[in-house]
Amino acid sequence: MDLTKMQVDSPTADAQSSTIDEGLYSRQLYVLGHEAMKRMSQSDILIVGLKGLGVEIAKNICLAGVKSISLYDPEPVEITDLSTQFFLRPEDVGKRRDEVSAPRLAELNAYTPVQVAPQNILSDLGQLARYKAVVLTDCPLSEQLRVNEYCHEKKIAFVSVGTHGLFGNIFCDFGSDFAVVDPTGNNPMNGILAGIDETGLVTALDESRHGLEDDDYVTFHEVLGMDGINGAEFKVEVKGPYTFSIGNVSSYGRYIRGGQFTQVKKPKIINFKSLAEQLAQPEFVYSDFAKLDRPMQLHVGFQALNQFQQAHKAWPRPMNEQDATEVHGLATKIAETYGGLKPELDEKLIKELSYQATGNLSPMCALFGGMAAQEVLKSVSCKFGPIVQYMYFDSLESLPNSVVRSEETCKPLGTRYDGQIVVFGKDFQDKIANMKQFLVGAGAIGCEVLKNWALMGLGTGPNGKISVTDMDQIEKSNLNRQFLFRPTDVGKLKSECAATAVQAMNPELLGKINTMRDRVGQDTENVFNEDFWQELDAVTNALDNVEARTYVDRRCVFFLKPLLESGTLGTKGNTQVILPRVTESYSSSQDPPEQSFPMCTLRSFPNRIEHTIAWSRDLFEAYFVQSAENVNLYLSQSNFLESTLKQSGNQKQILQTIKDYLVTYKPITFEECINWARREFEEQFNNNIQQLLFTFPKDSITSSGTPFWSGPKRAPSPLAFDSSNLEHMSFIKAAANLHAFNYGIKGTNVEDSTYKKILDNMIIPEFAPSSSVKIQADDNEPDPNANQGSGFDDQNELNDLIDSLPPPSTLAGYRLEKVDFEKDDDSNYHMDFITAASNLRALNYSIPTADKHKTKGIAGKIIPAIATTTSLATGLICLELYKLIDGKTKLEDYKNGFVNLALPFLAFSEPIASPKGKYMGKDGEVELDKLWDRFQYDSDITLREFLDSMEKRGLDVTMLSSGVSLLYASFFPKKKREERYPLMMSKLVEFVSKVPVPEHTKNLIFEVCVDDQSGEDVEVPFVCIKLR
């Protein structure tokens, strides 16, 4: 696969920093953009501290791609470091952390050199001048203050971050007058105008929401009347969802019609204060709105911890009451210094902070590592809003209730899990080790989940086990955020490579991971059978499509298994906990449907580049996929013509295409493929436009008296082919090569001169528009071409087309090769064709064109992704996993998380409770859980026995179904009902569906409609009958 590389300016001659590899950074570029990544590629970063938190930050920055990373941590590796530091091994104990970590981090990204910083980097602060950003992790407060003083003066971005067990904080200082180029990362708003009145009130067309906020800026273009308003910039005052004011416009004249607005992104200037200033008067970004009193308490508590460490040269001991009392006393004294800001200290909170001071948890490192890395990237790219300036977070809800924590149970044992044991205790560590977990998906989130599980020791016990499945192979674009994979893994199975990588991190997982390559779905229920599901303790989804998520969710509901669900979209992430008999399931709520465009808009009236891209994607399918499929069906299916003629609407088009592809324009040479491409250029970008303008001339007036070509309708202009025009030639080359692929004709290495010679010798017939052609003017109107082929003349034309086709017997064995769309292979012409076709149509309609990168993102429906969001979301989901392992069952114990690193924003909510219902039974009202309850039968029974058992519950079954088969209904004729009564339920399913029950099926699911004792039709759960 060819690499697309974009040249960028660079202050050095270093080849690694002078290119952006779009093949590698593809998904990240859709989040950050080229300009931000260009700035990143010129930035040197220093990271101090290489325990779990430091290496997590370094990993995320390295994957993102900066000029270089320097590491500094001269301390020797300790066995407890392995609780969170995934690049350390037991044999590294005693070696310098930075020297061991650097070469392993360097493997992540060949474009980002990683080196060990000079020995005196912190004693000679002048050396920091070469860095754009400095990160301190788990450093004493005195050191933070000293380094920050220098960085603040020199305008070097400074980030300090630390965690203590389930507590963490981050501080950012990017200097005075720091300019945020794009605070939100959202695309600029734009829309079509309905009008601008004399007061400056702007109304969007067709009640389209403008999406603007007060103090935004907009520009206008293509406005008729109001001389001088086009291109001018105006400040916005929002008046409503469809209107906004731009102030006095009397000097611009009177609005006539047309026009569009576009939001102008303005830089935001932030004046950061130094750490010393912020320590005294902190500004907080709140991480949990249910804990508004926490940040100030933790601000004091973290200082008290530092004072204790400075006095004792050691952190407070785990669960030690004496140390905790001292820390609380220090915190009380510090709180007194804050005057009006003095917090009301919760003694339990401060003591818990002391108990966990030496704790080091991989989910907390993932959470703060993702957040801190994103802040560093913000500081050097000027993209997205930074944390101003402190953020504190805790997850005390993750502490276990099922075990007793004491100084004895939480003491370090000299193991790799000590960072976790000092927080939760040895008994809880044993619970973690003996969990049986199923991970569905080993992509970006899957890699992070497996890494966290390995560090936690999940599944390493005698009864523990991890199953992971992923049917995909590793692609180059995965390497930018799926950090368990290396370039040598490209083409290999994700599940196997991910398992191998985490077993190297924690050898105790050897023999404990069951790797699979099967898709979890209805067709693999013989693989993921009842025995498989029943032995699981919990399931974690790491999937990127709703269909698969929904299926796993349904399985978890059926087998009553907890499910942890998470997802990311660029800088946005969410986590959801699904708990049997407590919460709703993933399927209980639905995402809004994907944006779709009216067919009329795509066919004839595009006004945005998204319209032309969607049109060109459809054209790709029509030319190179559907046409080949129709030809092959004609050649292989004896009844194809008969079935085609039964269709309504497009019989003529299908038959004409088969004739064109097999008779009229069937190519023998690549030269004929070029001819075909040239004819299609003329058809799509000239003839069809001429016909549209013939049907609706540019001066057309609608029945209401308004110009037809106004509002969203842009009047097009035909394109005259020019072989010297690169866009024109790009279409010809891509179309010719893809057409040649359909026919198995070689078209590679054809020189431009050959194309030009062939094209210049072609004679293109003059086009004459026809008055008989009908074009739909609006989606609300009936399609004038919908019933083509129904009239007498049309039928004769269809018969003539059929007679002109070669009999399939004369082409025995002949088949066309359809094109399977692949967006990430730059050598296959797929995206070249779609980009060229879209841009040519955009030129027809005077719409700004889009480059191949933007076109690929839209046409390929690429989900923007960045490692930092993935890391943070996985940290959140693993904090919920601790609760599942503990066996918590209260709704308020759990949290669904929502994050947007661009803003930055974190919020949490209780999961929504599962829906409850009730019915009137024989002994009174019966309550039930609509989602998790079921009517369970432990053996196969007859239909009669089933109906009787439901009647005993006070429920009269009016209908019974399984899948799409209606098995019983009270309105069935008596004879039909009576012949089914004695059948066993399994036999009844086979009798009606005419399909045997698969051997691996151990349970049959039925849906019922019932009336209760009040005669009401009530909603009840499904019925489950155990067969084996």
The residues annotated as belonging to the active site are: 600
Signed CA dihedral, 768, 772, 777, 779: sign only: negative
Burial class (CB in 10 A: 0-12, 13-18, 19+), 999: exposed
Residue 529: how many other CB atoms lie within 10 Å: 13
**Residue 916 and residue 928 in contact, taking contact as beta carbons nearer than 8 Å:** yes
Does residue 182 sit in helix, strand or coil? strand
Question: How many Å from the N-terminal Cα to the C-terminal Cα in the chain?
Answer: 51
Task: Give the residues across from 192 on adjacent strands.
Answer: 260
Asked if the peptide bond before residue 389 counts as cis, ω within 30 degrees of 0, the response is yes
Cα 200–203–207 angle (5° rounding)?
A: 165
For 61-89, give one letter per residue: b (16+ CB within 10 A) or e: bbbbbbbbbbbbbeeebbbbbbbbbbbbb
Alpha-carbon gap, residue 1017 to 638, rounded angstroms: 49
Which 3-state string (H, E, C) describes 110-155?
A: CCCCEEECCCCCCCCHHHHHHCCEEEEECCCHHHHHHHHHHHHHHC
Q: How many CB atoms lie within 10 A of CB 1024?
A: 15
At position 567, the amino acid (one-letter code) is G
CB-count burial class (<10 Å; 0-12, 13-18, 19+) for 829: buried
Helix ranges (DSSP H) in 752-818 = 752-760, 792-804
Interior angle at CA 896, CA 891 and CA 899, nearest 5: 160
DSSP secondary structure string for all residues of 510-548? TTTEEEE----SGGGTTTS-HHHHHT-SEEEE--S-HHH
- Secondary structure letter of residue 998 according to DSSP: P
- Identify the residue whose tokens are 């890395």: 373
3-state secondary structure 659-716: HHHHHHCCCCCHHHHHHHHHHHHHHHHHHHHHHHHHHCCCCCECCCCCECCCCCCCCC
Residue 850 buriedness (CB in 10 A; 0-12 / 13-18 / 19+): buried
d(CA 164, CA 308): 14
What CA–CA distances, in Å, run from 723 to 716, 756, 826, 836?
21, 6, 23, 14
List of E strands, 618-669 = none
Cα distances from 545 to residues 552, 565, 872, 911, in angstroms, run 11, 12, 20, 21
**Which of these, 116, 157, 166, 106, lies nearest to 136 by C-alpha position?**
157
Strands (E), 247-339: 255-257, 260-264, 268-270
Residues 6+ away with beta carbon under 8 Å from 472: 442, 443, 493, 494
Neighbours of 443 (CB within 10 A): 21
Q: How far is 657 from 631, CA to CA, in rounded Å?
A: 8
- The 10 Å Cβ neighbour count of residue 792 is 7
Query: Which residues have a Cβ under 8 Å from the Cβ of 428 and sit 6 or more positions away?
Result: 400, 402, 403, 885, 886
Joined together, the tokens standing for residue 673 give 């493929």
> Do the beta carbons of residue 988 and residue 980 sit within 8 Å?
yes
